[in-house]
Every structure is written in C-alpha cells, then in structure tokens.
Amino acid sequence: MNIEQLREIYDTYQRKHDVDPSAERDERPELVRYYLPSMNFGFVLFSNLTPQNADQVIADTIAYYQQKGCDFEWKYFDYDTPADLPERLIAQGLQPDEAEAVMVLEIKNAPARLLETPQYDIQRATTLEQLHHADAIQDAVWGNEPRQKVSERVLGMWDDDPNSVSLHIAYIENKPVSYGRVEFSQGDNPFASIWSGSTLPDYRGRGIYTAVVASRLQEAQQRQYQYLTVDAKPDTSMPILNKLGFITITYSTPYNWAVGG
C-alpha cells in the first residue's frame, strides 16, 4: 500500500470519523472539532477549507471554543488546504508547536522482532498503583513540562470505555522503567494508536522502548486491528520506528490557541 492510499484510509478513519468516547464531537462539512469536558480542552482534527472560507471558519472556531472557555489545538497536516492555512491560523492568533511525523504500520507487515515475545517484563496496568508507576516515569522523563498525568488520562478513558485504552509498563528488577499506552478506536475503525512512549534515561539503549512498542502492537493484533499509528518526534522516536517498518505518511503541526491569548 502506497503513501497516498494510507493517507486516504487515515483521513477517513482517524480524522473524519474517529469517535472519542470522552469527547463531544461537532462535525461540519468543512471541519471536525472536539471538546473534552474532563480536560476543558478542544481540538480540530480534520479540516477541508478553501481560500474563500478559511478565514471565516477559523474565526468561527475560535468563537466556538471561546464560548466554552477552553484552550484548543488545531492539528494541521502538511497536505491540508488551502496551502497558506498555517499563515492564516497564525494571523488569527494561533501559535505553532513542534511538528511530528504521522507514521503508520500495517500490522500484517510488521517485522518479526515486533511479533516475538518481549524479553523484558512488560505488564498491562490494571491497578491504580501501576498507573502511578507511569506517572513517576513521566515526571522523571519530562520534568516540569506541563502534561496531563498518565493516571488521569487512562482513568478518564476507562470510565468511558474500559476497552478503549491499555497502558503497558516495563519493569526491570521490579522497577518501572518505561511505559506507553495504546488506544483502540471504536466501530469499524481499523486503527489502534500508540502514545507517550517514555523510558528512564538510565535504561535507554537497551531495546526497552522497542519492546513496549511490540507489546502494544501484539495487543492490537490480538484485538484484530489492521493498522498501528503514532505521532513521532523526528529527533527521538521517529528513527527507531522507521527501523521497525513504520511509514511516514505526512507531518502534522499543532497550532495552539489559549483563552485570553
């Protein structure tokens, strides 16, 4: 399957018709936007704009989230229209963040190393204590960078649908050293997505990150998903995922707007 075909499937299921059980969804012909009450946060996941309507749609979207009193993110993909959409977003006060590679792996084509039993002790979290293990890893890796706690995100999703997310944690001598989550789409969406792969600095370079990817892929395979997707940072996880067979279908850039700007 070539990149154009993967983009078409990705857009259909992950951008136009994805269903987040914890979010309010507002679908319009020209865009799809969400609101997460639990986080008081919004995001635009898909847009199909023209030079004629882009400025008005952006202004309407700002007003929509202003009324809700929340910050929001407009996720721009490199092939979105019009071509000057980034400049139009900036002109109305949205600020670009770091671009990430959108990567997809067709699970049936996964390399053998991702299908082997991981050599490390990787557990699917089932208790609050394990969720707090992931919080501790996140704090150690990301420091003071503002992020929602892993436990808050997972518990919120479990409340909406216990089957919608799994958290995989790697342990060495009973110490939690790495974690990542995998989210499962609803309905006929063939995509599972992996997020937040983080490993303590002292344990990097041992293949633990790859083992946690393998563990999540194998769960997605067991649950009969066809594709695994991830937003990867070009200078960290992207090179590893390239070697594991993931294909970059585009780059995405979050454009952020804050209440009171």
* Mean pLDDT along residues 54-81: 97
Instruction: Report the run of H or E that residue 195 belongs to, with start and end.
Output: strand 191-199
Distance, CA of 259 to CA of 218 (rounded, Å): 41
Residue 230 and residue 195 in contact, taking contact as beta carbons nearer than 8 Å: yes
Query: Domain check: are 48 and 80 in the same one?
Result: yes
Q: Which domain holds residue 164?
A: 106-251
CA angle 236, 238, 243 (to 5 degrees): 120
Position 78 pLDDT exceeds 80: yes
In this predicted structure, what is the pLDDT of residue 140? 94
Distance, CA of 132 to CA of 55 (rounded, Å): 43
Average confidence score pLDDT of the chain:
93
SS (H, E, C) 117-171: CCCCEEEECCCHHHHHHHHHHHHHHHCCCCCCCHHHHHHHHHHHCCCCEEEEEEE
Task: Spell out the alpha helix ranges (H) of the chain.
Answer: 3-10, 54-68, 85-91, 112-115, 128-142, 150-160, 208-222, 237-243
* Mean pLDDT along residues 119-146: 91
Query: Domain containing 59 — which CATH number?
Result: 3.40.630
Query: Domain check: are 67 and 15 in the same one?
Result: yes
Give the residues across from 181 on adjacent strands.
167, 195
Give the residues across from 250 on adjacent strands.
102
- pLDDT bucket at 136, cuts 50 / 70 / 90: very high
In this predicted structure, what is the pLDDT of residue 261? 62
Query: Domain check: are 187 and 139 in the same one?
Result: yes
Query: Domain check: are 81 and 164 in the same one?
Result: no
Position 23 pLDDT exceeds 90: no
Query: Domain check: are 83 and 207 in the same one?
Result: no
Give just the sign of the alpha carbon dihedral 11, 77, 244, 192. Answer: negative
Instruction: Give the Cβ contact number of residue 9 at 10 Å.
Output: 19
CA 89 to the chain's CA centroid: 22
Query: Domain check: are 146 and 239 in the same one?
Result: yes
When divided into structural domains, the chain yields a total of 2
Query: Domain check: are 120 and 224 in the same one?
Result: yes
* Mean pLDDT along residues 6-10: 95
In this predicted structure, what is the pLDDT of residue 220? 98
221 SS3 class: helix
In this predicted structure, what is the pLDDT of residue 156? 85
Query: Domain check: are 132 and 84 in the same one?
Result: no
Position 146 pLDDT exceeds 70: no
Query: Domain check: are 44 and 153 in the same one?
Result: no
Query: Domain check: are 114 and 59 in the same one?
Result: no
Q: Kindly give, in sequence order, each residue whose CB lies less than 8 Å from that of residue 66, ignoring residues fewer than 6 positions away.
A: 259
Residue 71 and residue 34 in contact, taking contact as beta carbons nearer than 8 Å: no
Query: Domain containing 130 — which CATH number?
Result: 3.40.630.30
